[in-house]
Amino acid sequence: DMGGHDTYMHKEMSEQPEAVDRVLRGRIEDRFATVHLGGLNLDAREARSIRRVKILGCGTSYHAGMVGAQMIEELARIPADAEPASEFRYRNAVVDPDTLYVAVSQSGETYDVLAAVQELKRKGARVLGVVNVVGSAIARETDGGVYVHAGPEVCVVSTKCFTNTTVAFALLALHLGRIRDLSVSDGKRIIEGLRKLPGQIAEILAGEDEIRKLAGEFAHARSMLFIGRVRGYPVAREASLKLKEISYIHAEAYPASELKHGPLALIEPDVPTVAIVPSDDLLEKNRAALEEIKARSGRILAVAHEKQEKADHTIVVPQNEPELDPILMGIPLQLLAYHTAKELDRDIDKPRNLAKSVTVE
Ligand code: F6R
């Protein structure tokens, strides 16, 4: 039942405020400026002994893991990174007892992720899951974890689950941070930011009309570039994937800092750029990148906290705490991908060649 929506994708994007409310519900502990994660199965001593965090997932879940790795590094000050599970399992990676491994999956059934978990477990590693489907194979094989509580996701492309997974990682990062060196006041600041998310997401979704109008301009692009720096980079990666999957327009994501090392050569009027430009400490750097694109007659759509002079259009999104901004900044780009695909009359819920869960190698 699509409840009045024309596609499951549209229904699921619109469910994001409630979904985020669900992943937060019952977990915030104001008294200690932290969160309680019932299924984590990791005591304070163990949490303090972690030297590294390695996050494994595929596709959109890998991108959510990239966001998560940055949150863990920023809030818990533990070196963290994300890697496609499929790459990890084939490169005979060093399995280190002081590393916490985290497997991310909406379905909990993706074979490459499951196989990575099994290999890690066989070698004695500790593996947590950040999973949506309760009782799924990956949820069962991991030692503990955080359920994402996005609710059922029917559309082949993931939207609400991406958002909820990034929120689940914010909770994990806050939890680890408060056991380690994150101050009470920073803990409170993050909790306040988390509480603002559902309302801010609703605000972004209310801007859909503006985005629908923009989509007409991008539907005939030859290719598109998505750029962002640090926190904005995984957002660019995910937005680029979403556009490719449902509109079939070629898109590529790049760190904004790498533009001048190659992709600037692609810039021309029918290769527009989408730039993630939060008002954080990298704002001036990002503005300089917009200037370089503009100087080469590139068209720019910015997703930002304030209007960007160099951009042809700015989608203004509400500002949260800098560490949590990535949760919000991709949402207008889900809508952009959706309306671009509609413009091109694509089969949005069932894109060609793709399946909802990839249970084969
Ligand atoms: C993208 C998409 C895929 C999945 C990937 C992993 O919209 O849906 O890239 O994210 O196949 O699936 P899960 O999260 O179920 O492991």
Query: Rounded CA gap, 27 and 257, in Å?
Result: 37
pLDDT tens for 242-293 read 999 999 999 999 999 999 898 889 999 999 999 999 999 999 999 999 999 9
Distance (angstroms) between ligand 1 centre and the Cα of 357 equals 7
Distance (angstroms) between ligand 1 centre and the Cα of 227 equals 22
* Residue stretches of the chain with pLDDT short of 70: none
Q: Is the C-beta atom of 142 inside 6 A of ligand 1?
A: no
What is residue 137's DSSP assignment? H
Q: Is the C-beta atom of 117 inside 6 A of ligand 1?
A: no
Residue with CA nearest ligand 1 atom 10: 60
Please tell me the predicted confidence (pLDDT) of residue 360.
Answer: 77
Please tell me the predicted confidence (pLDDT) of residue 294.
Answer: 95
Residue with CA nearest ligand 1 atom 5: 59
3-state secondary structure 165-197: HHHHHHHHHHHHHHHCCCCHHHHHHHHHHHHHH
Close Cβ partners of 31 (under 8 Å, ≥ 6 residues apart): none
Q: Is the C-beta atom of 155 inside 6 A of ligand 1?
A: no
Distance (angstroms) between ligand 1 centre and the Cα of 239 equals 14
Please tell me the predicted confidence (pLDDT) of residue 356.
Answer: 79
Q: Given the DSSP bridges, would you call strands 313-316 and 223-228 parallel, antiparallel or unpaired? A: unpaired
Distance (angstroms) between ligand 1 centre and the Cα of 354 equals 10
* Residue 290: both structure tokens together: 């917009």
* Residue 336: both structure tokens together: 């952009």
Q: Please name every residue paired with 97 in a beta bridge, in sequence order, or none if there are none.
A: none
Q: Is the C-beta atom of 107 inside 6 A of ligand 1?
A: yes
Is 350 an annotated catalytic residue?
no
Rg of the chain (C-alpha set): 20
Please tell me the predicted confidence (pLDDT) of residue 58.
Answer: 97
Q: Is the C-beta atom of 337 inside 6 A of ligand 1?
A: no
Distance (angstroms) between ligand 1 centre and the Cα of 260 equals 31
Q: Please name every residue paired with 147 in a beta bridge, in sequence order, or none if there are none.
A: 131
Q: Is the C-beta atom of 159 inside 6 A of ligand 1?
A: no
Residue with CA nearest ligand 1 atom 16: 105
Q: Is the C-beta atom of 319 inside 6 A of ligand 1?
A: no
| Atom from ligand 1 closest to the CA of residue 356 | 8
Please tell me the predicted confidence (pLDDT) of residue 270.
Answer: 92
Catalytic residue among 196, 294, 350, 356: 356
Query: Rounded CA gap, 281 and 24, in Å?
Result: 28
Distance (angstroms) between ligand 1 centre and the Cα of 94 equals 26
